[in-house]
Amino acid sequence: MKSLLPCLFAAASSAAFAAPVSYKIDPDHTLPSLEMSHMGISVWRGKFNRSSGKVVMDREARTGTVEIRVDTDTVDFGHRGMNTFATSEDWLNVDKYPDMTYRGALKFSDEKPTAVEGRLTLRGVTRPLTLKVNTFNCIPHPLFRREVCGADAEGELNRADYGMTLYSDGDAGKIRLRIQVEALKD
């Protein structure tokens, strides 16, 4: 019994000081997207085809951070005219602002993240943006033999707050940002 005590103490100590785990964003399975009204007639949906970043998470301590970088020139609405407008100086202005970033802190409920309280930088403007985490799961990746975590998060912003004022009166400026993300443990 005497020799078991140091082992139990060591196990308890390491559990109390669990280290944060880093996950690299999988760019092939992470597609930030946006939804917005098209003149009140329908909803336009577009996605960004290239992103990168990382998630650092300590599930035992229920803490973590998220950092996502999106290449704005990869926006794709499936419509050439809308893609041209979206990348123009009036909207994303990709020549001057080639990326947008989102950085935030994970908020947990029980054992899973339920929100990210962060800041979105778009067109050189940084504003608070909270994302609700709709789903979150981690599994052993069947091919890479390491843990992979995935989530779907969403939040709303007004594009006029980021300098995109053309055609943004009233509800026309509202955008729902969604980030579908998968990340592999480093």
The CATH superfamily label for domain 19-185 reads: Lipid/polyisoprenoid-binding, YceI-like (2.40.128.110)
Return the pLDDT at 38: 82
Q: What is the pLDDT of residues 28-52, one digit of tens each?
A: 999 999 999 888 888 899 999 999 9
pLDDT at 7 over 80: no
**pTM for the full predicted model:** 0.86
Mean pLDDT (the chain) is 89
Where do we find the tokens 């109390």?
16
pLDDT digits (tens, 9 = 90+) for 128-148: 999 999 999 999 988 888 999
The residues spanned by each domain of the chain are: 19-185
The residue type found at 114 is T
Predicted confidence band of residue 16 (pLDDT cuts 50, 70, 90): low
